Structure formats: C-alpha cells, structure tokens
Amino acid sequence: MEENGNATPNRFLVKFSGEYLAGKGGSGFSTERLAHVSEELKQAKAHANGIAVVVGGGNFFRGGRALPALIDRVTGDQIGMLATAMNALALRDAFRGAGLQAESVCAFPVGGGLDQYDPDSARQVLDQGSVLILGGGTGNAFFTTDTTACLRALELGAQTVIKATRVDGVFSDDPEKNHEAVRYDHISYDFALSNGLQVMDATAFTLCRENGLSVRVIDLGVKGNLQSAVKGESVGTLVDVSGGTHD
Ligand code: UDP
C-alpha cells in the first residue's frame, strides 16, 4: 500500500449522489436541494485549498444491470454518464448562484457548454480558486461515480474523498434494519474489508486502499457537515490507512 504522496494539502474531492439532487418523484432537480448543496459547498470551500466535485446521475438514469430489455448494458451506462454531465451543468449554475466561481467539464467530448476534462487544466482551475465539477464519470462503461471520485482525487491531488450521502457514515450493520448497529468514527481499509463493511464499490475501494487515499463518509442532509469534514472534525466515518481504535 502506498501513501498518497501526490496530494496537495487540504484539497478535497466531494462526491454527491445524483439522487440527492432529485425533485418530486425522485427525478430531475429540487431547487431546495440544489440550494442546500451549494450553501454547504460554499462554507466548506472557505476552509479548503481547492474542491473538485464528482456528481452521480441517479436522479435521471442509472445503467448497470437493471435495464429495460431493449437497452444494451454499454448503452445504459453511456446514458447514465450523460445524466451525470447534465447534473454537472446544473451544479455549476447553482454554485455560481451562491457566489462561488465554478466550472464544469465532462470526461468525454459532449459540447453543450462542457469542455473535455484533462487533469492538467483541471489542476489549474483548482489552483485559481474555482470549484471544478466533473461530469461524465470515468467516461467508461462498467464503472461507477464512486470510482470516478477516487480516480479524479488521485489525478488532482486531493487528500481525501468526501462521500456526501444520505447516511451518517459506515455502520457495523444496516442501521435501518438493525437498531443495534454502531457507527464507526475511524477505521482502516483492512478493517472495512475484513468485516465486509460497505464503504464504496470494490473498484473504488481498491483504488483508495492501494494509493493511500482517505475517504470520509458523511450525511449531506445535516447542515455544516461538509464544512466540518473539510476542517478535519470528527463527522461521519473516516476510512484511511491507519484506522482507529476498532482495529
Ligand atoms: N457510469 C458509468 N461509468 C462511470 C460512471 C458512471 O457507466 O465511470 C454510469 C452508470 O451506469 C451509473 C450511472 O452512470 O449507474 C450514474 O452514476 P451513479 O449510479 O454512480 O449515480 P448516483 O447513484 O451517484 O446518483
């Protein structure tokens, strides 16, 4: 296992699920959610040396296995990636509306106001103080936006991936089904693996573990959580090389 030696101190990659942005009926955009995410990001940005954002596409379309019979797996994933690109555009405007400088790019050529991602230009955008939103996933079928988040974090020198979700961290069991489930504050990759704890999909998890990239899982719904995570306060669950007292 390598240390994440490429990291720029205090630089973060934040992963938002597309699902969180959804409006009524679980689809499209909720103005309230866009405003909440923008405000959280604005507060967090004030304490960071650059924030890049990866966004999912679940508010429009998810590829993977559960597809209508007439849509091929690769096509389904391409539709999913386009959905993330639409979200990248929406977040750009919402962030700007909150007074942030923000740019969006896509992993593959798509036009429509989105330049194609390249790591060198992306680093420059971050160095100049803009928030950079990365749409289009990795650009490859069979991957996820969690994997995209870890890959881009490594490329852009982020220290930690903050996975902003609907749950308050990593638990010993499903907290919705088992009321005895405990939340961990700080665990190692090895502890998560040996206890079968779901942090991210296996590809994303391996990328983090092999490159010493930390992941903090937080509940995005709680005001101030993102800022606390950036400040290194104990919020949600931190997964890293060293781990905490549970190991
Ligand atoms: N996707 C893909 N390759 C990638 C990233 C995403 O094929 O590198 C597709 C995949 O079909 C996925 C969809 O894009 O289901 C939307 O992403 P995700 O499910 O991660 O969105 P979220 O659940 O975070 O809203």
- The torsion angles phi and psi of 176, rounded to 5 degrees, stand at -75, -25
| pLDDT tens-digit map of 165-178 | 989 999 999 888 99
Count Cβ atoms below 10 Å from residue 17 Cβ, excluding itself. 20
User: Is pLDDT at 247 greater than 70 in this prediction?
Assistant: no
Tell me the CA–centroid distance for residue 77 and ligand 1, in Å: 7
Distance from C-alpha of 211 to C-alpha of 10, rounded to nearest angstrom: 17
Using one digit for the tens of pLDDT, what is the confidence trace for 108-159? 999 999 999 999 999 999 999 999 999 999 999 999 999 999 999 999 999 9
pLDDT value of residue 174: 87
pLDDT at residue 1, as a whole number? 54
Longest dimension (CA), the chain: 50
Banded model confidence at residue 65, pLDDT cuts 50, 70, 90: confident
Quickly state the pLDDT bin for 5 (edges 50, 70, 90). Answer: low
H runs (alpha helix) in 2-144: 31-45, 73-97, 119-127
Query: Span 73-99, mean pLDDT?
Result: 98
Fold of 12-240: Carbamate kinase (3.40.1160)
> What's the predicted TM-score (pTM) here?
0.95
What number is the average pLDDT over the span 17-26? Answer: 89
Cβ atoms of residues 152 and 54 within 8 Å: yes
Q: Which of 54, 75, 144, 220 to mutate to test the pocket of ligand 1 (most atoms within 8 A of CB)?
A: 144
According to DSSP, the β-strands at 160-165 and 12-16 are: parallel
Of 196, 242, 187, which Cα lies nearest the Cα of 217? 187
pLDDT averaged over every residue in the chain: 94
Residue 136 Cα to ligand 1 midpoint, Å, equals: 8
d(CA 137, CA 23): 22
Q: Please give all residues whose beta carbon lies within 6 A of any atom in ligand 1, as ranges.
A: 17-19, 56-58, 62-64, 76-77, 80-81, 83-84, 137-138, 140-141, 143-145, 148
Give distance in angstroms: CA of 187 to centre of ligand 1.
Answer: 26
- pLDDT tens for 87-102 read 999 999 999 999 999 9
Ligand 1 atom with minimal separation from the 144 CA = 5
- Of ligand 1's listed atoms, the one at least distance from the Cα of 142 is 7
Kindly list the domain boundaries of the chain, sorted by start residue. Answer: 12-240
| Bridge partners, 134 (sequence order) | 54, 105
Ligand 1 centroid from CA 202, angstroms: 14
C-alpha to C-alpha distance for 209 and 174, rounded to whole angstroms: 23
pLDDT of residue 245: 67
Residue 18 has pLDDT above 60, yes or no: yes
